């Protein structure tokens, strides 16, 4: 009897033991090393420019109010191993789709530089705060130019409404579940603001599920079977990374008079991993 109890206890402990962590292998990163005022590495990133009208989506499809530029005052290294994207009030004379531009900011993308297979993508970021600010760290399917959106798929690793400085959200967009997607989830920091310190935002995805993390806490998981109740699963393909600080638009509205400019989004690093098992199969 005692032996059976011991066996039962051991079996219970084994059942409760957490599964071993996925073994990840670093395959790409940008630590943003370089002198203050330097541009981003052009072998890794390119700048998205303008107000989105070049792709027939003025305001980048979201009624955003910023003009993206590539000036060091908007996108540059700070000499401390960090990237700084800064939103500012626009100079007089700069025109946007709605008239004189209200703001200038920055967006960088790995599109047409490097795409990434399913795995883990993470960044350590300190966010700005203020009504109408919209920092984002996200991914799009590499085939977007040929199939369009949302057929390309989109993974929103981190978005933040500046009016809610203690809350970020993650979302999945695809064919049949785009726009006001049902597959979204908010993460609350709890009495603190994301502008107070750096935090790590990450996504892990494979052929079965997509998992979003804030500071190693898995706050949202979308399983493939659930997504396929709405439409096609499109996340078995390469994707590219985007980082930007939007101003205004449908997500958080336009800035109020008390929103302070310049406003900065500071990125400490971006790192990409593949599962060791995937690398062995290559």
Between 2-16, 98-112, 179-193, 241-255, the lowest mean confidence (pLDDT) is in 2-16
Q: Which residues form the domain of 235? A: 27-281
Please, are residues 244 and 105 in contact by the beta-carbon 8 Å criterion? yes
- Residue 244 in any domain: the answer is yes
- Residue 134 in any domain: the answer is yes
31 assigned to active site? no
CA-CA-CA-CA torsion sign (168, 172, 178, 180): negative
- Residue 248 in any domain: the answer is yes
pLDDT(12) > 90: no
pLDDT(278) > 80: no
Q: How far apart are CA 36 and CA 72, in angstroms?
A: 9
- Residue 66 in any domain: the answer is yes
Chain-wide mean pLDDT for the chain? Answer: 92
Q: How far apart are CA 104 and CA 245, in angstroms?
A: 10
DSSP assignment of 150-208, as one string?
TTT-EEEEEE--TT-TTEEEEEEEBTTB-SS-S-EEEEE-SSS-TTSS-EEEEEEE-SS
Q: What SS3 state is found at 14?
A: helix
- Residue 118 in any domain: the answer is yes
- Residue 2 in any domain: the answer is no
How distant, in Å, are the alpha carbons of 39, 112, 247 from that of 88?
18, 27, 9
* Cα–Cα nearest to 196, from 123, 269, 128, 122: 128
- Report the DSSP pairing between strands 66-68 and 75-77: unpaired
Summarize pLDDT for 155-174 with one digit per residue, the tens: 999 999 999 999 999 999 99
* Mean pLDDT of all residues in 204-227: 98
Residue 243 banded pLDDT, cuts 50, 70, 90 = very high
Please report, rounded to a whole number, the percentage of residues in the chain having pLDDT higher than 70: 90
CATH number of the domain to which 190 belongs = 2.60.120.200
What's the domain count of the chain? Answer: 1
Annotated catalytic residue, options 64, 122, 159, 204: 159
Annotated catalytic residue, options 66, 154, 226, 228: 154
- Residue 163 in any domain: the answer is yes
154 assigned to active site? yes
Six token digits for residue 32:
């943003």
- Residue 121 in any domain: the answer is yes
Summarize pLDDT for 39-93 with one digit per residue, the tens: 999 999 999 999 999 766 899 999 999 999 999 999 999 999 999 999 999 999 9
Element (H, E) at 270: strand 263-275
């Amino acid at each position: 009897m005692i032996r059976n109890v011991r066996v039962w206890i051991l079996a219970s402990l084994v059942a409760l033991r957490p599964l071993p962590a996925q073994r990840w292998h670093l395959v790409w990163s940008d630590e943003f090393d370089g002198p203050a005022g330097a541009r981003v590495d052009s072998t890794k990133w390119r700048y998205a420019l303008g107000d989105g009208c070049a792709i027939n989506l003025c305001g980048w499809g979201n009624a955003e109010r910023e003009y993206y530029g590539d000036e060091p005052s908007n996108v540059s290294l700070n000499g401390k191993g960090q990237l700084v994207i800064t939103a500012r009030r626009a100079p007089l004379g700069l025109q946007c789709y709605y008239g004189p531009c209200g703001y200038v900011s920055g967006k960088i993308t790995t599109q047409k530089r490097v795409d990434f297979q399913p795995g883990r993508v993470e960044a350590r970021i300190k966010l700005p705060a203020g009504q109408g600010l919209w920092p984002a760290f996200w991914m799009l399917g590499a085939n977007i130019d040929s199939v369009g959106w949302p057929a390309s798929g989109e993974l929103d690793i981190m978005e933040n409404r500046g009016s809610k400085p203690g809350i970020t959200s993650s979302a999945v967009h695809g064919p049949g579940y785009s726009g006001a997607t049902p597959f979204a989830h908010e993460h609350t920091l709890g009495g603190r603001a994301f502008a107070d310190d750096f935090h790590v935002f990450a996504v892990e995805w494979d052929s079965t599920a997509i998992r979003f993390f804030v500071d190693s806490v898995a706050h949202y998981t979308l399983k493939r079977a659930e997504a396929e109740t709405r439409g096609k699963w499109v996340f078995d393909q390469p994707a590219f990374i985007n980082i930007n600080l939007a101003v205004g638009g449908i997500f958080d509205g336009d800035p109020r008079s008390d929103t302070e400019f310049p406003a900065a989004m500071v990125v400490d690093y971006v790192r990409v991993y593949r599962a060791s098992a995937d690398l062995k199969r290559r």
